[in-house]
Amino acid sequence: MDVDALRMDFPVLRRTFNGKPLAYLDNAASTQKPESVIQAVSDFYSASYSNVHRSVSSLSMEATQLFEAAREKVASFLKAKAEEVIFTRNATESLNLVAQAWGRHNLRKGDVVVVTEMDHHSNLVPWQQVAREAGAKLEFVPVTDQGELDDSFEFPEATRVFSFAQVSNVLGTVNDVKAWTKKARKQGALVVVDGAAGAPHGLVDVFDADFYAFSGHKMCGPMGAGVLWGKKSVLEEMPPFLFGGSMISKVKKEGTTWAELPAKFEAGTPNAADAIGLSRAVDYLQRVGFSSIQKHEEKLLKTTLDLLSDVPGVTVYGSAKARTPIVSFNLAGAHTHDVGSILDANAIAVRSGNHCAQVLMDRLNIAGATRASFYLYNTEDECHRLADAVKQAQMVFA
């Protein structure tokens, strides 16, 4: 994998701030876009734009074809059927869809919904709300000191749903989806996987679950297109989430019947342009190759961990065996926002704060952390620049 060549595909990486080249280490928040993705969205609007699934015009048929080809592409990425792929805005919407449509329909008083202490708010809060409404109990799989899910956790007999992060967006911990799914299934639970931090690294072989959610923008796709994959039999049983055009079969004054999958869950005009962009992002990542990407990411992770371990006062959170290239840390005596500002002065973009994971922050007994997260276009040189800037922050605040 030629990182220098690949960086040329990402226009924004040519930018400088304060006279220094941008080091974009905020990939767990969102990733940059290659030219091919930007071009695909632009091409759709300039050459093929029309509403989809609506009219018999050649233009509309072309737009529909491009949109459905995007669905096929995403389905092949997931090794799933196209009719099981529902386009949403993002992982948050995908998870809300399941919580609202499946949860509200199926949860009863006394049921248990299980999430984990490392979940992003986008998984935790929708279930917390739906559980409260239904009178169901919300339980948490604890996180160990290593930053892994606690294997000794026993699912209560009344567990109806287990919804959890495939990868922690703070610690980078990769959870064993197969093993956890098997365990939750023993109590007959529905299994929902939040893949927002997993799919970008090609970790999508998870389909013994019932649902898998991810965002396109975290894997080189445009903002505004996400995916909910659902097992066909579960999707067929589940009532719709949003009602309106496209998702209906027959509408009469006295009632309505629903469209077939996946239309049943895609009410209204979809974001076809960004779905097409997402499919180009999958193309792009597959062309580079996920195994090459993963190897490169492992190297960046190791380099960063080694370099930061030499900086006095730095605490890195989590030490899981299986891990994506995310390093969350704090510097003694310095607030995470100040560390972020000093990194910014060095043109290094990271995220400071609680990372939409306040329950995990409580577990770690911190208010926030600085998070550097890497992707295919990051370099070893950027790891060194990060460590140097943290040393600078250490000197300012020591």
Partner 1 sequence: MSLEMYREQILEHYKHPHNKGRLSDADTSVKDANPLCADEIEVFLKISNNKIQDVKFDGIGCAISTAATSLLTDHVKGMSLDDVKKVSRDDVFKLLGVPVSPARTKCALLSLKAIKSATYKYLGEKLDEKFG
Tell me the C-alpha distance between 70 and 8, whole Å.
Answer: 25
Nearest to 77 by CA among 202, 167, 196: 202
**In terms of CB distance, is 216 or 368 closer to partner 1?**
368
Q: Which is nearer to partner 1, 202 or 353 (CB)?
A: 353
Please, what is the minimum distance in Å from the beta carbon of residue 117 to partner 1? 17
Q: At closest approach, how far in Å is the CB of 292 from partner 1?
A: 35
Cα separation values, 238 from 63, 173, 226, Å: 29, 31, 20
How many CB atoms lie under 10 A from the CB of residue 341? 12
User: Distance between CA atoms of 353 and 318, rounded to whole angstroms?
Assistant: 17
Shortest distance in whole angstroms from residue 167 CB to partner 1:
23
For 71, the 3-state DSSP assignment is: helix
The footprint of partner 1 (CB under 8 A) covers 18, 334-338, 341-342, 344-345, 352-354, 361, 367-368, 396-397
Closer residue to partner 1, CB minimum distance, 170 or 259:
170
Q: How far is the CB of 181 from partner 1 (least distance, A)?
A: 33
Query: Look-up: residue for tokens 């060549």?
Result: 5
Q: Are 251 and 267 in contact (CB under 8 A)?
A: no
Catalytic residue among 75, 80, 356, 376: 356
Give the nearer residue to partner 1 in terms of CB position, either 264 or 351: 351
How many Å apart are CA 336 and CA 321, to the nearest integer? 26
Q: Is 383 a catalytic residue?
A: no
Packing angle, helices 380-397 and 336-345, rounded to 10: 120
Please list the active-site residues. Answer: 356
